[in-house]
Amino acid sequence: MSAQYTEEHIKTLDWREHIRRRPGMYIGKLGDGSSRDDGVYILLKEVMDNSVDEYMMGFGKTIEIEIHEKGVRVRDYGRGIPLGKMVEAASKMNTGAKYDSKAFKKSVGLNGVGIKAVNALSSKFDIQSIREGKLKAAEFAGGQLVEEAAECKTELANGTIVSWVPDQELFGNFHYILEYIEGLVKNYTYLNSGLTIAVNGEKFHSKNGLIDLLNENMDKEGLYENIHLVNHDIELAMTHGTQYTDEYFSFVNGQHTTQGGTHLAAFKEGLVKTIREFYKKDFDPSDIRQSIIVALSIRVEDPVFESQTKTKMGSKDMGPNGPGVRNFIHDFLKKHLDDYLHKHPETAEIILQKILESEKERKAISSIKKIARDRAKKASLHNRKLRDCKAHYNTNHDRRLETTIFITEGDSASGSITKSRDVATQAVFSLKGKPLNTYGMTKKIVYENEEFNLLQSALNIEDGLDNLRYKNVVIATDADVDGMHIRLLLITFFLQFFPNLVRKGHLYILQTPLFRVRNKKKTFYCYSDEEKVNAINEVGSNPEITRFKGLGEISPDEFKNFIGKNIRLDPVTLSRSDSVADLLEFYMGKNTPERQNFIIDNLRVEKDLVEAEA
């Protein structure tokens, strides 16, 4: 019997219910705060975009952010929302000033959705607008108006104050990582010299724009002085470093387009064309771009993004009456970069030598790469080493597809994960023994070492992250000395040859329970000694306590609890001040005395742990 389909099945959702049922359409994903693109940070960005747009229009030089536990407060000193329209601006879809291109010609938020999404997805949302000595305030809950206060007099400076608490029914037990928020804030300041943003009282400010961004994100000084080129609607900063990968920070109207788009593709293409013409040599594009680090910002009228989160630009034109993005960027590079190289022959010579060095290395390992690829095929990668999933994350297509690959060691551990995983979105890669310590080695080792060659093939990252097959790369090892060592060796491998996997927030550590505490009625899985003590008190007398020493000891049925909806992942992060080279040298190099003293100073023996529990 076929299901009925009548007028009763056609429903119209109001704006708040639609956002709450389909949050992915508005903020990409929910998440718990462990990833840079989790929804709690997108909510902050949506509010910040409005405040930054006010600064760009010439109003308010300071923005204040306060974060305390689950709540966030953003205060700007712009013009404030017109008081009579404030409630509508916060709660009526497709309502906002940015449809008037005269007022906000090249702003970030364009579709009148952002602040409404914050409102609908928050258990508590307060908004205040101050204009010319008058204040208007309103309070919402889940997008519904709770209280609207009448206008009143105030001595506060003009601006807008927005406070909210993301709804835990939707986001779960989320948390904020201040480092992620500081990274977001710093990008705003790099793109808006003169703007000061304070996060819990700590002020961020940039004097040199994209040059500051470049310096902040480089481990060491570039091979030559940063090239800084500015023209109408475009700013470029670039240099070459010593790392293996190329790295790009691209922005459109102040929005960090982490997934690139037409502007970044045009830059890469235009760079190759300009360099080839300047040196009059047909260099391979990979040799030109290897080790380059670039910050690119353009401003476009009425930009088109691929999603509400604005991580990839799709615009092909600079504006209704402007040139195409591709021609605009190509012409800019042809004129300004070419002029710069002619005026700075010492920089041009360094770039030439870097390209020739990359070319030499590429040719030296080309034969090894061919052998390695053949070896990967013969090894029956998808059967012996990799238990693949049905879906794949592709940064050029569906960015919201959450796929995960677990890198584990040993048959028992990989077997447990394989049997309990979601075959649609979770894959498993099985290591054979401890990986090699790759610190200080050249990229030849990636192809000469079978484990790393197969891992690289499984992730599909030989030519960079553009074709990464999985959104989350998760190291899943035992919580013992050997497991910790394997984690460190894998992190070393990624930092040495694929640091952007870490910088872009793709690498995680799987947290699995250390203990199971249960009786006939209750079962608790504990990830720390503190959780174990609490569980024992909850269970009561005569609890059964199991210490999990390895992943293989956890049955597949139990493992489903730890890699499903409630999976606990610790992101592997690099702070802006971390130098990859210095970190690897200290932890994986031959500085034995220094590292030995560090271990002695930070070691906690069993007696200490017992005293801590007491």
Highest mean pLDDT among 108-122, 233-247, 271-285: 271-285
- Tens digits of residue pLDDT in 302-320: 777 776 566 777 767 776 6
Q: In 10 A of CB 549, how many CB atoms?
A: 12
**pLDDT at 520 > cutoff 80:** yes
Q: How many angstroms separate the CA atoms of 521 and 518, rounded? A: 8
**pLDDT at 167 > cutoff 90:** yes
- What's the CA dihedral at 561, 563, 565, 569 to 10 degrees? 120
Confidence of residue 399 (pLDDT cuts 50, 70, 90): very low
Tell me what pLDDT residue 86 has.
92
Tell me what pLDDT residue 77 has.
96
Confidence of residue 586 (pLDDT cuts 50, 70, 90): low
Cα–Cα nearest to 373, from 299, 303, 452, 447: 447
Q: How many angstroms separate the CA atoms of 107 and 101, rounded? A: 9
* Pairwise pLDDT comparison (561 vs 270), residue with the higher score: 270
- Tens digits of residue pLDDT in 36-62: 888 999 999 999 999 998 998 899 999
Cβ–Cβ under 8 Å, residues 233 and 299: yes
- Tens digits of residue pLDDT in 206-249: 999 999 999 888 878 899 999 999 998 899 999 999 888 888 99
* Pairwise pLDDT comparison (98 vs 17), residue with the higher score: 17
**Domains of the chain, start order:** 16-205 (3.30.565.10), 210-363 (3.30.230.10), 380-512+550-578 (3.40.50.670), 515-547 (no CATH)
